[in-house]
Amino acid sequence: MNSETLNTLDSYSKNKYKYGFVTEIDEEKPKKGLNEDIIKFISLKKNEPEWMLEWRLKAFSKWKKMKEPKWANLSFPEIDYQDIYYYSAPKGFEKKPKDLSEVDPKLIETYNKLGIPLEEQKVLAGVAVDVVFDSVSVATTYKGELEKLGIIFCSIGEAIQKHPDLIKKYLGSVIPAGDHSFSALNSAVFTDGSFVYIPEGVKCPMELSTYFRINAENTGQFERTLIIADKGSYVSYLEGCTAPKRDDNQLHAANVELIALEDAEIKYSTVQNWYPGDEEGKGGIYNFVTKRGLCAGKNSKISWTQVETGSAITWKYPSCILKGDNSIGEFYSVAITNNFQQADTGTKMTHIGKNTKSKIISKGISLGNSQNTYRGEVSFLRKAEKARNYTQCDSLLVGNQCGAHTVPYIDSKNNTAVIEHEASTSKINEDQLYYCRQRGLSHEEAVSLIVNGFCKQVLQELPMEFAVEAQKLVSISLEGSVG
């Protein structure tokens, strides 16, 4: 590697995180610590019915008996669950504000700074947004318009009160509380998140989006999202996230459940940009997320697309259970790690129905001292006749101190299954850099161009409105110089 490349690498390590500011706002916080009282407090704050509290407490009793899953290629100090705030809300959110005039101007300012204006007329055309600040949903845009089509798009807290039948039927149906310790934890203390229901035959006319922001110190964010696409419906959903720069690590443990009934399609995209910690690995979000979709009906389809650039630790495997015959699961992922970030991410495709298909495209880019692992499991159960999987995992290394790892598991109990797996690991190519620079592009521009090209297969899966943003984010994660 020549000196110029090393210089540029050095400038990467001076990563600046432009979302790292803190909003000074009065917060309502109960004491730190995890116990039945805090769960009762959350449930009370959310004005929840009795059955919901019981559901939470049951999950909590499961959690107490569980240990964290340890199989990931991650190292971090033990999480002290008693040293975390489990609820934090800006004051004045006892009731969700009816419109923006009731929202603290500081909050509106925060979102303007993040590039997520809350006023509908300023929001990206054709995108409805639910905004979650620490533990509460701040605003949901375009609600009225969606209601006309019978689409429900609201915070999960609101759904628990207004749509208890759907919640009782589906919450925890894809990710049981007792699945593992993080799902149990989330089930016990989740605070807010989004709920989406698309009625039979309805194609949702706009992108639905949730934007998560962690602001308060030492606070965990435990969001819960549930999306149900009824027969023959379609929805595309996007999630974005940021957090202030802090020296302490913060825990984020989300659960996202998707259910696609017969002929329904759900497209779920994530742009994860939690604070990754500083160049010495201090601070940053611990991102332990469980995302799972159930293709319950025939011909249903669930597609996950993720761009993971943030967090000190990412532990995340958006998965598909392909139960309905002919159902399709897809996973497109870009994971970029820099400095001391660690990512262990991938997917799980479980083929149960006949003729089920899955496709996995994973692109990992490692810089600095980071470790980037793809972990995937593709399994074919006995009845999965003629099921197919295609997996492609590519890793790109930029520098000499980072690591890229690929851990694919394949398990087939049906011998008609067809499995294809391709994997590659490469270093950033000096000839490509030379070529770009000979045309007049700077070294940084050239790296960003080449990496964006490397990720293109995934980035092009993102909804149009966000593809450009995601490209920029990829460049910023590399340069670290755009403030």
Partner 1 sequence: MFLEIKDLSVKIENKNILKSLNLDINKGEVHAIMGPNGSGKSTLANVLAGKEDYEILNGRINFKDNDLFDLNIEERAQEGMFLAFQYPVEIPGVNITPFLHSAINSKRKRMNEEEIDNLSFAKLLKSKASDLGINIDMLKRSVNTGFSGGEKKRYEILQMSILNPDLAILDETDSGLDIDALKIVTDGVNKLKTKDNSFLIITHYQKLLDYIKPDYVHVMVNGSIVKSGGSEIAAEIEKDGFQKFQ
Binding stretches for partner 1 (CB under 8 A): 2-4, 429, 431-432, 434-443, 445, 449-450, 452-457
| Rounded CA separation 327/167 (Å) | 24
- In whole angstroms, the minimum distance from the beta carbon of 45 to partner 1 comes to 47
Query: How many whole angstroms from its chain centre is CA 447?
Result: 26
Using DSSP, state whether 479 is helix, strand or coil.
Answer: helix
> From CA 461, how far away is CA 267, in angstroms rounded?
9
Distance, in Å, from the CA atom of 426 to the CA atom of 287, rounded to the nearest integer, reads 27
Residue 355 sits at the vertex; the CA angle it makes with 352 and 359, to the nearest 5 degrees, is 85
> Would you state the structure tokens that stand for residue 412, as one six-digit string?
């087939």
Which residue type sits at 254? A
**Least distance (Å) between residue 175 CB and partner 1:** 34
Q: In this complex, which beta carbon is closest to partner 1, that of residue 70 or of residue 439?
A: 439
Report d(CA 369, CA 402) in Å as an integer: 5
d(CA 356, CA 301): 10
* 115 vs 453, beta carbon nearer partner 1: 453
* Minimum CB distance to partner 1 smaller for 143 or for 443: 443
State the DSSP H helix or E strand holding residue 358, giving kind and residue range, or none if neither: strand 357-366
The torsion angles phi and psi of 56, rounded to 5 degrees, stand at -65, -45
Helix (H, G, I), strand (E, B) or coil at 441: coil
Residue 422 to residues 113, 134, 425, 475, Cα–Cα distance (Å)? 41, 40, 11, 26
**Nearest distance from C-beta of residue 236 to partner 1, angstroms:** 23
> Which three-class secondary structure string do you get for 259-322?
EECCCCEEEEEEEECCCCCCCCCCCEEEEEEEEEEEECCCCCEEEEEEEECCCCEEEECCEEEE
Q: Give the nearer residue to partner 1 in terms of CB position, either 12 or 454.
A: 454
In a 13 Å sphere around the CA of 359, the CA atoms on its Cβ side amount to 13
Give the nearer residue to partner 1 in terms of CB position, either 145 or 469. Answer: 469
Query: Would you say 277 or 364 has its CB closer to partner 1?
Result: 364
Q: Which is nearer to partner 1, 95 or 439 (CB)?
A: 439
Count CA atoms closer than 13 A to 483's CA, side-chain side.
5
Which is nearer to partner 1, 222 or 466 (by Cβ)?
Answer: 466
Specify the residue, 3 or 82, whose C-beta has the smaller distance to partner 1: 3
Q: Whose CA is closest to 125, among 110, 142, 148, 146?
A: 142
In whole angstroms, how close is the CB of 5 to partner 1 at the nearest point? 9
Q: Which is nearer to partner 1, 173 or 452 (CB)?
A: 452
- Smallest distance from partner 1 to CB 263, Å: 33
CB of 314 to partner 1, least distance (A): 23
Write down the least CB distance from residue 439 to partner 1, Å. Answer: 4
Task: Identify the DSSP state of 203.
Answer: B
* Phi, psi values for residue 256, rounded to 5°: -125, 125
Q: How far is the CB of 459 from partner 1 (least distance, A)?
A: 9
Rounded to the nearest whole angstrom, what is the least distance from the CB of residue 149 to partner 1 in the complex?
A: 35
Count of C-beta atoms within a 10 Å radius of residue 54: 11
Question: What is the residue type of 65?
Answer: K
DSSP annotation of 223 reads B
* Cβ distance to partner 1 smaller for residue 26 or 430: 430
